[in-house]
Amino acid sequence: MACSEYEPLIEKHKAGAITEEERKRLDSHTKECFECRTLRDGGILPERGRVRERVKKNKSKSLPVLIAAVLIFVLVIIVVIVIRNQVRKGSGAASEKPKLQQVDRVLEVLRVPGVKRDDPIRFGKPGYEVPGDGRVIFELKDGSRVTAYRDTSLSFDDTPEGLNTDVKRGRCEFRFKSGGRVTVGEALVDAGGETTVQVNFTDKVEIRILLGGARVTRGGKSRAVLEGSTFTFKPGDSRTDIK
């Protein structure tokens, strides 16, 4: 039945003269029909056709808008997740390094350009170059101290095994409180506990254990170097002396 056929029923409804059977018919139509429902409930519909079009238009307009909104929402969620992950990654790496850097600092510095007392220790390459008349004392987070004397080149690396100090040349002294690792030329010195290691790097490498003990690994061979002994080798040399 067309909407126009319901108009008399709507009039009857408004006049309170609608029968039970007519009301049922009208109700079942108004459930489906917005216009007739509006008319029945006293709404104004000056132009029936237009309203229907408008309702349809609104529907067809609102669907793409809804889809676009959902897409934008999903996109925003993805962007937020990506940013949060990156921030977490970044702060994960950053929150560990500054923790070390804040405590690991330059304790004393003598004539080394660009290095100041209380500077946080720089990690990675190129590290520190101590000039001929310079000296730097670094303090590590556990109270260990690294003294780099004149003409020394060294760098610090924050490795998963702990702090590793790489000495390229010169003379260094390591006073470890709770152990540490030093790479000297081709050798790796694993100092355990309270240990003092002196490294002289001239034409040959001399590793002296002044206090405590260490393991020195070179060319796949690992040896214990005890307090008072000296481990020497020439770079490229296969021979190693322990005195």
Q: Name the site residues for Zn ion (rule: CB under 5 A).
A: 3, 33, 36
Of 36 and 112, which CB lies nearer to Zn ion in the complex structure? 36
Closest CA to 229 of 194, 184, 195: 195
In angstroms, what is the minimal distance from the CB of 84 to Zn ion?
52
CA 219, 157, 133, 103 dihedral sign is: negative
Residue 241: strand, helix, or coil:
strand
Of 3 and 107, which CB lies nearer to Zn ion in the complex structure? 3
Give the DSSP H or E segment for 91: helix 48-103
Of 36 and 225, which CB lies nearer to Zn ion in the complex structure? 36
Distance from C-alpha of 223 to C-alpha of 76, rounded to nearest angstrom? 58
Of 37 and 145, which CB lies nearer to Zn ion in the complex structure? 37
The answer to whether 147 and 137 are in contact (CB under 8 A) is: yes
Which two structure tokens, joined as six digits, stand for 20?
A: 């039970």
In angstroms, what is the minimal distance from the CB of 71 to Zn ion?
35
In angstroms, what is the minimal distance from the CB of 35 to Zn ion?
5
Which two structure tokens, joined as six digits, stand for 143?
A: 């109270």
In angstroms, what is the minimal distance from the CB of 36 to Zn ion?
3
How many other β-carbons are positioned within 10 Å of the β-carbon of residue 190? 19
Of 12 and 177, which CB lies nearer to Zn ion in the complex structure? 12
Residue 22: strand, helix, or coil:
helix
In angstroms, what is the minimal distance from the CB of 32 to Zn ion?
8
